[in-house]
Structure 1
Amino acid sequence: MNLTVATPHAIGRPGYSALLPCQPDSVRRARAFVSNVLQTWGIGDLVDDGEVVVSELLTNVIDHTMCAMAKVVIEHCPDGVVRIEVVDNSYVQPQMQEGDAAEESGRGLFLVAALSWRWGCAEHDWGKSTWAELKALAMASSAPNPVPKSENVR
């Protein structure tokens, strides 16, 4: 069994990151990582959605790239927002698949879009980062949604 080591951010927003091999077992470890961080921060109402989001983002990397490793990042942003990000060295952009809701695969980004306040993909010189932002229930009910759910950042 490989150990997932959470590394706290030294500068910037409060957060943690974990480097995981791109293999199916890492999805379970990423879910536990996100769950533990959210519980530690006292925002357990985001655990279920956060686990689904990180599962879908990491599964996309595992299934659609040739990356050996991916980094999972979770940050506590202002206004009750939590950013979950999967970073890899592939330039393959995630694409929403058109299809039937009853299909067993291809719905991952639809789930990410449905569960998140907003999401997107940022291209970098070294690869990409695909992210989703969730709002804690207390904040989500009182604040308007000024940004579209899907936002591709380049």
Structure 2
Amino acid sequence: MVETGTGTLPTYTETLPRIPESARTARRLVDLALTVWDMNEVRDAAEMVVSELLANAVHHARCESVRLTVTRLSDSRVQVSVVDRSRAHPRRRAAGSMEESGRGLGIVNALAHGRWGVDSLAWGKRVWADLEVTSGE
């Protein structure tokens, strides 16, 4: 994992293979960043968010790797993002009660309190979610 942020916001970033097993590594990287920044209150939410974003990239993107980035936006806000080379944007949908998939972005939306989105890139996209430490957590 690389820590960047010289002159910018504190950031950890890593390129991971686009395989389901990368979710475990992604959760560990998020956990490490949050520990260093003393933002443990959002750990569970951030680990779930990164798992869902990575699962979408693994399932839908057609590249060999994805880029995970964890950025401390402030003392109480962190952003988790996954970049892949697919230009297709994810869409929230209502999954049927018997469907095994289709709930991930609804979970991300709930955990991020609606603060998530997709940035188009010339060669792909960046899907991100902001999480906030609150006094009630």
Change over 3 Å in CA distance of 1:37–1:79 after alignment to 2: closer
Percent identity, aligned pairs only? Answer: 37
Question: Structure 1 residue 114 and structure 2 residue 110: aligned?
Answer: yes
Measured after TM superposition, the shift of residue 99 of structure 1 is 2.1
Q: CA deviation at 1:101?
A: 5.1
Deviation at 1:10? 3.8
Q: What TM-score results when the alignment is normalised by the length of structure 2?
A: 0.92
Q: Corresponding residue for 2:87?
A: 91
Matched, 1:35 2:41: no
The alignment's C-alpha RMSD in Å is: 1.4
Offset of residue 103 of structure 1: 3.4
- Alignment partners' CA distance in 2, 1:78 and 1:16: 14
Which position in structure 1 is the counterpart of 2:66?
A: 70
1:149 equivalent in structure 2: none
How far, CA to CA, are the matches of 2:106 and 2:86 in structure 1? 21
Structure 1 unaligned regions, length at least 5? 1-5, 142-154
Secondary structure of the residue that 1:137 maps to in structure 2?
coil
- Contact conserved, 1:77 with 1:83, CA < 8 A, in 2? yes
What stretches of structure 2 of length at least 5 have no aligned partner? none
Q: Which runs of 4+ in 1 moved over 4 A?
A: none
Higher relative contact order (CA 8 A, sep 6+): 2
Across the two proteins, how many residue pairs are aligned to each other? 134
SS at the partner of 1:94? Answer: coil
Distance (whole Å) between structure 2 residues aligned to residue 78 and residue 35 of structure 1 = 17
d(CA) in 1 for partners of 2:97, 2:131: 23
* One-letter amino acid of the structure 2 residue matched with residue 50 of structure 1: A
Match of 2:45 among 49, 53, 66: 49
Q: Deviations over 1:102-136 (max 9, x none)?
A: 63211000000000040000001121100000001
Q: CA deviation at 1:78?
A: 2.3
Distance in 2 of aligned mates of 1:131 and 1:21: 18
